[in-house]
């Protein structure tokens, strides 16, 4: 019990620090969101970083994927410009703040000099229609009937789209932060990726965390092993842990306080 009262002032100090941090962080977040709403329209186009052809001749387009982020507070604000998230939310009948990510892929299918085949009507011996088909595309042109003096015929068209989307992360060097990329390609070599629009709702790591843990501490110099309960408080990159460990070799309980600060995160 005496150890509890010894640690009580430290606990109160930690709680006071948490309250002060929460108030300051709240004011900072409000100012940041207000600035975004008043002056910035979020970008939606992902930057193209690379293009290449694979062994099958398909062209790949690589876009940086860890950009174009907005906060949930931004989406909840009524004083902001509309974006693709609003359009998707309206179509899906959900709130904009409920969406995690919206992606629009713009691509073009282009082909020249496709060879059409005549299909003859066996009764009239006239051309019933012209058609072209391959693995992906089906085209049909039907000429106007002899009795139709106004019409110019009709086109029927179908395209079996085939897009492969791969997402991965990599570093420029071993201590650099990971960056996310999205690779888009099609097995149809006539397909070109024109661009990607995307907005991601930023999922921030909680700045405050409280953990109740079971912990163990071993000192190799003395071969002392302590086990017992611990409480850890996380404040962004800073954390404080208080533990109360039992050491069998001395049959004693010992309190401890550990502070940490993350210099590098991967």
Residue 39 has pLDDT above 70, yes or no: no
Residues 142 and 257 in one domain: no
Residue 260 has pLDDT above 60, yes or no: yes
- Which strands form 252-261's sheet, in the order they lie side by side? 208-219, 224-235, 238-247, 252-261
Give the residue from 185, 239, 177 showing the smallest Cα distance to 18: 239
Q: Are residues 127 and 59 in the same domain?
A: yes
Give pLDDT, residue 14.
Answer: 57
Label the pairing between strands 137-142 and 154-159: antiparallel
Q: Are 37 and 194 in contact (CB under 8 A)?
A: no
Last residue of a domain, one of 202, 225, 250: 202
Query: Is residue 195 one of the residues assigned to a domain?
Result: yes
Residue 179 belongs to a domain = yes
Q: What is the pLDDT of residue 2?
A: 53
Residues 96 and 198 in one domain: yes
Question: Ramachandran region of residue 57, left (φ > 0), alpha (ψ -120 to 50) or beta?
Answer: left
Rounded Cα gap, residues 205 and 171, in angstroms: 20
Q: Which two tokens stand for residue 99?
A: 């969406």
* CA pair distance 114, 190, nearest whole angstrom: 12
Higher pLDDT, 22 or 250: 250
Band (26; pLDDT cuts 50, 70, 90): very low
Among residues 248, 242, 247, which one has the least CA distance to residue 229?
Answer: 242
pLDDT in tens, 192-222: 999 999 999 887 766 778 889 999 988 888 8
Q: Are residues 210 and 186 in the same domain?
A: no
Q: Say how far apart CA 55 and CA 169 lie, in whole Å.
A: 23
Domain hosting 253: range is 2-28+206-261
For the residues 57-76, what does the mean pLDDT come to?
89
Average pLDDT score over the chain: 82
Compute the CA torsion angle 5, 6, 8, 9 (nearest 10 deg): 130
Residue 39 lies in a domain: no
Q: Tell me the C-alpha distance between 119 and 131, whole Å.
A: 8
Q: Within this chain, do residues 138 and 193 fall inside the same structural domain, yes or no?
A: yes
Domain-terminating residue out of 162, 183, 202: 202
Distance of CA 156 to the CA centre of its chain: 38
Return the number of other C-beta atoms located less than 10 Å from residue 61's C-beta: 22
The overall pTM is greater than 0.75? no
**Of the residues 202, 229, 249, which one is the last residue of a structural domain?**
202
């Amino acid at each position: 019990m005496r150890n509890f009262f010894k640690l009580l002032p430290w606990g109160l100090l930690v709680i006071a620090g948490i309250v002060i941090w929460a108030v300051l962080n709240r004011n900072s977040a409000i100012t940041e969101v207000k600035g975004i709403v008043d002056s910035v329209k979020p970008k939606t186009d992902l930057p193209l970083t690379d293009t290449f052809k694979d062994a099958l001749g398909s062209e790949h387009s690589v876009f940086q994927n860890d950009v174009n982020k907005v906060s949930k507070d931004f989406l909840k604000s009524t004083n902001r410009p509309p974006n693709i998230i609003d359009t998707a939310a309206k179509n899906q009948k959900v709130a904009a703040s409920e969406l995690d990510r919206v992606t629009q892929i713009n691509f073009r299918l282009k082909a020249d000099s496709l060879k059409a085949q005549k299909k003859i009507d066996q009764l009239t011996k006239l051309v019933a229609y012209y058609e072209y088909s391959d693995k992906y595309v089906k085209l049909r042109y039907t000429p106007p009937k002899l009795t139709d003096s106004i019409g110019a015929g009709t086109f029927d068209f179908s395209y079996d789209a085939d897009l492969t989307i791969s997402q991965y992360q990599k570093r420029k060097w071993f201590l650099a932060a990971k960056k996310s990329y999205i690779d888009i390609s099609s097995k149809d070599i006539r397909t070109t990726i024109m661009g990607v629009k995307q907005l991601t709702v930023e999922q921030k790591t909680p700045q405050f965390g409280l953990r109740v843990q079971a912990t163990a501490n071993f000192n190799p110099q003395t071969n002392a092993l302590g086990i017992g309960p611990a409480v850890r408080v996380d404040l962004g990159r800073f954390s404080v842990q208080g533990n109360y460990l039992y050491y069998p070799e001395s049959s004693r309980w010992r309190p401890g306080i550990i502070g940490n600060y993350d210099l590098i995160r991967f």
